[in-house]
Structure 1
Amino acid sequence: MPASPSKPDHVCVGAISGSFGVRGEVRLKSFCAEPSDIGSYGPLSTEDGATSYTVTLTRPVKSGYAAMLSGVATKEEADALRGTRLYAPRTALPSLPDDEFYHADLVGLAAIDTGGEPIGKIASVANHGAGDILEITGPGLGNGLLIPFTLAAVPTVDLAAGRVIIDMPEGLLDPAPAPEAPAPPLGQDYD
C-alpha cells in the first residue's frame, strides 16, 4: 500500500474503478490484506485530502466490492470518480508483525549490498501474484533492478536506519560478456 505523496501519514487502501448500477454505487478495488477491511478504516480521503468519503460496502462483485460513498448519489457522480485512489490515515491501519511491512514504508529506503556498498533506492513494490518484488533504481542500474522481496534476497529491513540489505544473486550486476566474433563459414578459403 503506497503512501500519499502529498500526505505521507496516509496510505492508499483502494481505488474506485467505476460505477456499479444506477443508484450511485461505485465499484471499489481493495488493496488491503483482508479486502473487506477497507470499509473499517473510517472515512477515506482522496490523495490530496480535499475530499473524504464514508464507505459502506454493499456486496462483493467481480474484482472488488460494490460500495456506497457518502455524498455520491448518482451514476454520473460515481462514474466521475473512476481512477480515484482512496487513502486511510496510517493510525487507522492495524499494527503488523515484525516480519511484515507496508509498501509505503519500503519505498524510498536505501538499498545496500551485504558488503555495505550502496546499490540504489527502492522506487516501488509490486506484486503480480507470485510475491512482492522490489524495484531498485540508482546510478548504473538503467531502467532499474527487480529483486524478490524474500528473506533470502533481502535478509534485513531496517526502517529506523532507512535501509534494506540486499544479498545480490551471483552475477546480477556483473557486466555482460562481450559477444565473441562469429566463426568464418565452413568451406571458404581466406588466403
Structure 2
Amino acid sequence: MELVVGRVAKSHGVHGELVVEVRTDEPELRFAPGAVLRGRAPRARETREYTVESAREHSGRLLVRLQGISDRGAADTLRGTLFLVDTAELPPSEDPDEFYDHELEGLSVRLGDGTVVGTVSEVLHSAAGELLSVRAAERDREILVPFVTAIVPTVSITEGVIVIDPPEGLLDEE
C-alpha cells in the first residue's frame, strides 16, 4: 500500500521550485536533500523517482527543488503530482496514541453503546488539526469528526474500530 507524503500544488518562481502541500509528520526526513521521492502524476499509473535538491518552509508549505527540474515550465508539468512512500517502509509508531493515516482509513466508527456511525474514508489535515472524514452508515453523507481525545477516546487498529463521543449536534444532519 502506498501513502501520500506530499502533493505538488504549483510551481514557485522561475527556477523550478515546487510548492508542496505536506502530508507527513516527518517532512524534514521525507524532503531532506538527497532523499529520493516516488512521484505519480495525476491520472498516471506509473511512478517516477525524483531526488530532492533542497527544501525550505514557506507559508505552511514546503518549497522543494528537485534535481533535473530547473525552470518554471518543468515545474508546472509536476502540478498535482503525489509523492508516495510504501507503507512497508514505515517504522512502527512508538507512541500508542499516534497513527498513520492509512491505519485509520477503513476503520468502523461507533458510539460508546456500539451504534455504528460509519467508516473512516480519509484523514484530513487542516491548520486547526486533524479531522476524520467518516462516510455515514445511514444515508450517503460525510461527517467530519475532530480527531482529538475528548471526541475520539478509543482507537483500536487490531479490532478495526474507532469509538467516538461526539458533542451535541456533531452527528446531526444539516
Common fold by TM > 0.5: yes
The structure-2 alpha-carbon separation of the partners of 1:139 and 1:94, relative to structure 1 and needing over 3 Å to count, comes to closer
Structure 1: gaps of 5 or more residues: 1-7, 177-191
Structure 2: gaps of 5 or more residues: none
Q: 1:19 is matched by which residue type in structure 2?
A: S
**Considering only CA atoms, is the larger Rg found in Structure 1 or Structure 2?**
1
Given that 2:134 and 2:143 are in contact with CA atoms closer than 8 Å, whether structure 1 keeps it comes out as yes
Cα separation, 1, equivalents of 2:125 and 2:57: 22
Given that 1:125 and 1:134 are in contact with CA atoms closer than 8 Å, whether structure 2 keeps it comes out as yes
Partner of 2:109: 111
Cα separation, 2, equivalents of 1:19 and 1:163: 40
| Mapping 1:1-191, distance limit 5 Å | 8=1, 10-40=2-32, 42-47=35-40, 48-96=45-93, 97-170=95-168, 173=171
Q: 1:17 is matched by which residue type in structure 2?
A: A
The structure-2 alpha-carbon separation of the partners of 1:45 and 1:79, relative to structure 1 and needing over 3 Å to count, comes to same
Given that 1:109 and 1:164 are in contact with CA atoms closer than 8 Å, whether structure 2 keeps it comes out as yes
Count of paired positions:
168
Cα separation, 2, equivalents of 1:28 and 1:149: 24
Q: Give, in angstroms, the shift of residue 111 of structure 1.
A: 1.0
Query: TM-score of the superposition, structure 2-length normalised?
Result: 0.78
The structure-2 alpha-carbon separation of the partners of 1:119 and 1:66, relative to structure 1 and needing over 3 Å to count, comes to closer
Q: Give, in angstroms, the shift of residue 18 of structure 1.
A: 2.3
Given that 2:23 and 2:125 are in contact with CA atoms closer than 8 Å, whether structure 1 keeps it comes out as no
Query: TM-score of the superposition, structure 1-length normalised?
Result: 0.72
Given that 1:107 and 1:122 are in contact with CA atoms closer than 8 Å, whether structure 2 keeps it comes out as yes
**Identity of aligned pairs, percent?**
32
Cα separation, 1, equivalents of 2:11 and 2:119: 37
Q: Give, in angstroms, the shift of residue 173 of structure 1.
A: 4.8
Aligned-residue Cα RMSD (Å) equals 2.8
Cα separation, 2, equivalents of 1:52 and 1:28: 16
The structure-2 alpha-carbon separation of the partners of 1:67 and 1:169, relative to structure 1 and needing over 3 Å to count, comes to closer
